[in-house]
Amino acid sequence: MNKVILVGNLTRDPELTETPSGVSVCRFSIAVSRDYASADGTRETDFFNITVWRGRAENCGKYLKKGNKVAVVGSLQTRSYEDKDGIKRNVTDIVANEVEFLTPKSAQAEGEDAPVVSAKRERPQLEAIDDNQLPF
């Protein structure tokens, strides 16, 4: 099974492009803090490259910006290439199947109509009931 779930903040604005055949592709990177702190209290951060395709790519390119918090569900994909000096480089990307926008609308720049997905569901408020009103 190859499945990755990450929650982090965009480190740069997303780059939306198209393949020569017209398929939308969006690339961005996110910073994800580790759960634990070192002995001196600092928390390490990991940086991940994310690739999104088609309609989701268009939405990410339109609504996301540097600093936004997102949840990404996808799979790891590795590739290799030769750099300009002839050195073979290996790269690992996350190919996203799902991207949820977690930054609240109030934190978005004014005038944007970004979709908002809450990380937590609101629970309905329940009325207080006196024990004497219970039928048992």
Selection from 20, 22, 26, 93 nearest residue 63 by Cα: 26
Q: Which two tokens stand for residue 66?
A: 């540097």
* Residue 132 lies inside a defined structural domain of this protein: no
Q: What is the pLDDT of residues 30-85, one digit of tens each?
A: 999 998 888 888 889 999 999 999 999 999 999 999 999 999 999 999 999 999 99
Q: Domain of 88?
A: 4-35+43-119
- Taking residues 18-27, report their average pLDDT: 95
Confidence tier at 129 by pLDDT (50, 70, 90): low
More confident residue, 121 or 71: 71
Confidence tier at 104 by pLDDT (50, 70, 90): confident
Question: Model's pTM, two decimal places?
Answer: 0.73
* Residue 125 lies inside a defined structural domain of this protein: no
Q: Which two tokens stand for residue 75?
A: 């799979």
pLDDT more than 90, % of the chain: 68
pLDDT more than 70, % of the chain: 77
Q: Please give the Cα distance from 17 to 27 (Å, whole number).
A: 8
Which CATH number do you get for residue 63? 2.40.50.140
CB 32 within 8 A of CB 45: yes
The predicted structure's pLDDT at residue 122: 45
Selection from 31, 105, 7, 98 nearest residue 63 by Cα: 105
* Residue 136 lies inside a defined structural domain of this protein: no
More confident residue, 38 or 23: 23
